[in-house]
Amino acid sequence: MRNHLFEVDDVELILNDPNYILIDCRFDLSDEHWGYSDYLKGHIPGAYYADLNKNLSSPPTIRSGRHPLPAHDEFIAFLSELGINKNRTVLLYDTSFGSYAVRLWWLLHSYGHMKTYLINGGFQAWVVKSNPIDTNIPEKKPELFDGKFSGQNLIDQKEIEKNLNNRDYLLIDARSPLRYQGIEEPIDKIAGRIPGAINIFHQDHLDKNGFLLPETDLKTMYAFLKDFKKKENIILYCGSGVTSCFNLFALSQIGMNKPRLYAGSWSEWIQDPGHPIIKNER
């Protein structure tokens, strides 16, 4: 197992260490301004802020999903502005137990920056221990980020279209069961799922306190994948390619690094009226 978690007790020890960079990724899909506003009210001392819409995504188009991957040059400039270089360890958190921070975890890993971790339990775990909260925006100390995007953990819409009935491919939908079933859809204009997809809700990887489940529990959850021959054909998607990164994070924790992300996800899939969809009857 490769551990991609950083515990709160360890964060306390590195607050003033220049070899570490903290990034707050809190966000709210229903209010795009809430994340930064709430960050200003209090965050882990020294933490910068990363906005899902502005920093971790490109503007959506009429054919894309809600959160297309960020443009290369803009993303590199953002990472450089924060001072991320190959020698610095990046620690990420949000107020959703990693549901948004994991997008940046996946992106940094895709750009070759493997010294990137999620703070287990997120901001809540920091607060519950009565750790210090800061309202100051830390000074930025830019460094040149040297990284190149690798698409090996990415799959596009065309490949999914070609392999909808291919048993060598497995689609996993990371949305809530009700959204997966098509019973409710609070965000996207059409409810349902991609045909053939199974459901593993991203929040099911957490215990009741918002900490990642133990390795043994994660292995039990994904035991059915043990004999799946082509791990690179295990495909994760969600509403817009963000929270499904948490499933990829959990899989990586138990040594499965080959599954891929369909970044466009459901919100892209439904842009084409010719795409088949499935929904359960009420």
What is the rounded CA–CA span in Å between residue 136 and residue 82?
15
Q: Identify the sign of the CA torsion 124, 125, 129, 132.
A: negative
Q: CB–CB of 91/20 below 8 Å?
A: yes
Question: Could you say which of 238, 242, 261, 263 is catalytic?
Answer: 238
pLDDT tens for residues 222-270? Answer: 999 998 999 999 999 999 999 999 999 999 999 999 999 999 999 999 9
DSSP 159-189: HHHHTTT-TT-EEEE-S-HHHHHTS--SSSS
Q: For residue 6, give both structure tokens.
A: 């950083």
Q: For residue 51, give both structure tokens.
A: 């906005």
Closest alpha carbon to 268 in 280, 277, 257, 259: 277
25 in catalytic set: no
What residue ranges do the domains of the chain occupy? Answer: 5-149, 152-269
Fold exhibited by the domain 5-149: Oxidized Rhodanese; domain 1 (3.40.250)
Q: CB–CB of 116/4 below 8 Å?
A: yes
Q: At what angle do helices 101-110 and 244-253 cross, to 10 degrees?
A: 60
Q: Domain 152-269 - what CATH class?
A: alpha beta
Q: CB–CB of 25/100 below 8 Å?
A: yes
pLDDT score of 211? 97
Banded pLDDT at 281 (limits 50, 70, 90) = low
